[in-house]
Amino acid sequence: MPTEAHTAADLKQLASDVLARALRAGATDAEAVVYEGDEFSTLVRLGQVETLKESGSRAIGLRVFIGHRTASTSSSDFSRESLDRLVDGAITLARITSEDPFAGLPDPAEFGQNNSDQHLYFDDVNLQPPAERIEIARAVEAAAMAFDTRIQNSGGGDFDTATSHRILMNSRGFTGEYRRSYCGFSAQPIAHDADGKMQRNYWYSVARTTRLLEDPTAIGQEAARRTLQRLGARQVKTQQAPVVFSPEVARSIVGNIFDAANGDAIYRHASFFAEMLGQRVAGDNVTVIDDGTLVFDHDSGIKTGGFGTAPFDGEGLPTRRTILIENGILKNYVTNTYTARKLGLAASTGNASRSLAGNPGIGAGNFFLQPGTLSPDEIVADVKSGLYVTETMGFGINLVTGDYSQGAAGMWIENGELAYPVEEITIAGNLKDMYKNISAIGNDLVFRAATAAPTLRIEGMTIAGS
């Protein structure tokens, strides 16, 4: 159900009104964020539509400063009475917080946004008839189910869309807004082996426009292949061995680099990257970049902004490209205004993330490890005996110490080939060592999300099993 048509002018007026009220109520500075979004999702299971969900929502968030004190409020109710409470609540709360000399809006000279079209919003995502979306969900599941007789059950095929409109405005003169669109579908087949043991897996396609979604049949078949590959999985013996990380799993250990370089963790010494600026934290072959401005050119002639692309960050600073690690040397932390000030840095890296309430956090744009030259097959071919990991589970990552211990599943590699599926094992090491022990980097970098990584091989990890 789309929300009532609020024009951009209405929402901007709302933000502006709230800022004016906050200043009248005693704020020395204020910042408002207005969010409006529509979502659609459907799940088709065993050929039947199982769920159909369609809705729109909106909310406003307010952050106020009284000198160096700050507080925030949010509301999904835009009535006059609620907006009064939004303002009064923020002012009342700010008075009970502490003076923090580092708290405050950015210097106005830092405000800005990328004015070129970042290709973040495509109308077709909203205009596509629900029947077509349901048909894609049906088709992707059907393709997975038809792939092999060992696939007789399914978690379903789904199709989701989301569009959003965001306005950020503050009392120091910044006003910015952007719209983004997203659509995607996936299949989650379930396969049985002869003993009745089940395995599930999935595969998916996501894009900013329906025109760039992949073929549902191909995606369904890939989901089926990934599921069948897991049948008959077993444990291996506890041992040390090289581990090849598929791009889906490599993405998460590369994401840990962003978390470790997060200025908030750095100033608290809650990261193993603390006080490591300018020092070696990874092998020569490792370069890691955050870029909030990426726009991709597609073969079809369409351009789309990355899933981590935006014209400005959560505080109204232009997004930019920041090299975190260059040839193994830690070059930059990632910061918002507050953490940049805490760390004595000249400026924020434009990585402020802003949810409706709370102080700004730090978030990645498009974050990636630069690809190498080897194909994934070549990376596996060099392994005499080791693990190709396709899935990790758990919460065993400690960014203070770098200790890493996760549940894992994948394929065992014997003499350079994927030999048999494995599961119910763990992989463990320390991220400080793991980044230095990356012995091969794939050429297969694909942005299926805001964070992306190619296939990676890491030497000397401990695999625990039977």
Partner 1 sequence: MPPPRTDKTPVASPDHKRYFIEKLGLSERLMERCLGEALSAGGDYADLYFESVSSTSLGIDESLVKSASQGISVGCGIRVLSGERTGYAYTDDLSSARLLHAARTAALIASGPAKEPIAGFRHTSDNPTLYPIAGAAADAEIAAKLALIQRADRAARAFDPRITQVRAGFSDELRRILVAASDGTFASDTQPLARLNVFVIAQDAGGNDGAGSTARGTSGGGGRVTLDFFEGTHSPEHFAREAARTAILQLDAIAAPAGEMPVVLGPGWPGVLLHEAVGHGLEADFNRKKTSAFAGLIGQKVASEKVTVVDNGLMPNRRGSINMDDEGNPTQETVLIEKGILRGYLSDKLSSRLMGMPNTGSGRRESYHHIPMPRMTNTYMLNGTDMPEDIIKSVQRGLYAVNFGGGQVDITNGKFVFSASEAYLIEDGKVTRPVKGATLIGSGPEALKYVSMVGNDLALDEGIGTCGKAGQSVPVGVGMPTTKLDRMTVGGTGQQ
Of the candidates 93, 162, 212, 445, which one interacts with partner 1 according to CB under 8 A? 93
The least distance separating partner 1 from the CB of residue 133, rounded to whole angstroms, comes to 13
Under 8 Å between Cβ of 352 and 314 = yes
- Dmax (CA) for the chain in angstroms is 73
Cβ-based nearer residue to partner 1, 47 or 173: 47
Distance separating alpha carbons of residues 53 and 41, to the nearest angstrom? 5
Structure tokens that stand for 248 in this block: 């889906």
End-to-end CA distance of the chain: 52
Q: Does 177 bind partner 1 (CB under 8 A)?
A: no
Cβ-based nearer residue to partner 1, 13 or 240: 240
DSSP output for 125-174: HHHS-HHHHHHHHHHHHHHHHTS-TTEEEEEEEEEEEEEEEEEEEETTS-
Q: Does 279 bind partner 1 (CB under 8 A)?
A: no
Q: Does 297 bind partner 1 (CB under 8 A)?
A: no
Residues 103-142 that bind partner 1 (CB under 8 A): 103, 130
Binding-site string for partner 1 from residue 408 to residue 427, where x marks contact by CB under 8 A and - marks none: -x-------------xxxxx
The least distance separating partner 1 from the CB of residue 129, rounded to whole angstroms, comes to 12
Cβ-based nearer residue to partner 1, 25 or 59: 59
Under 8 Å between Cβ of 69 and 97 = yes
Residues 53-92 that bind partner 1 (CB under 8 A): 53-59, 70-77, 79, 81-82, 85-86, 89-90
Q: What angle do CA 177, 183, 184 make, to 5 degrees?
A: 145
Q: How many alpha carbons lie under 13 Å from residue 330 in its C-beta half-sphere?
A: 22
Residues 3-32 that bind partner 1 (CB under 8 A): 4
Residues 316-355 that bind partner 1 (CB under 8 A): none
Residues 351-370 that bind partner 1 (CB under 8 A): 356-359
Q: Does 149 bind partner 1 (CB under 8 A)?
A: no
Cβ-based nearer residue to partner 1, 68 or 172: 68
The least distance separating partner 1 from the CB of residue 35, rounded to whole angstroms, comes to 11
| Other beta carbons less than 10 A from residue 377's beta carbon | 12
Binding-site string for partner 1 from residue 215 to residue 254, where x marks contact by CB under 8 A and - marks none: ---------------x--x-x--x----------------
Distance separating alpha carbons of residues 184 and 39, to the nearest angstrom? 12
Q: What angle do CA 294, 11, 119 make, to 5 degrees?
A: 20
User: Pseudo-torsion of CA 265, 267, 272, 276, nearest 10°?
Assistant: 140
Cβ-based nearer residue to partner 1, 16 or 405: 405
Cα 135 vs. chain centroid, distance in angstroms?
A: 28
Residues 184-213 that bind partner 1 (CB under 8 A): 190, 197-200
The DSSP element (H or E) to which 298 belongs, if any, is none
Cβ-based nearer residue to partner 1, 177 or 423: 423
Which segment (241-249, 251-259, 266-274, 289-297) binds partner 1 by CB under 8 A?
266-274
Sequence length of the chain is 466
Using CB under 8 A as the binding criterion, the count of chain residues that bind partner 1 stands at: 84
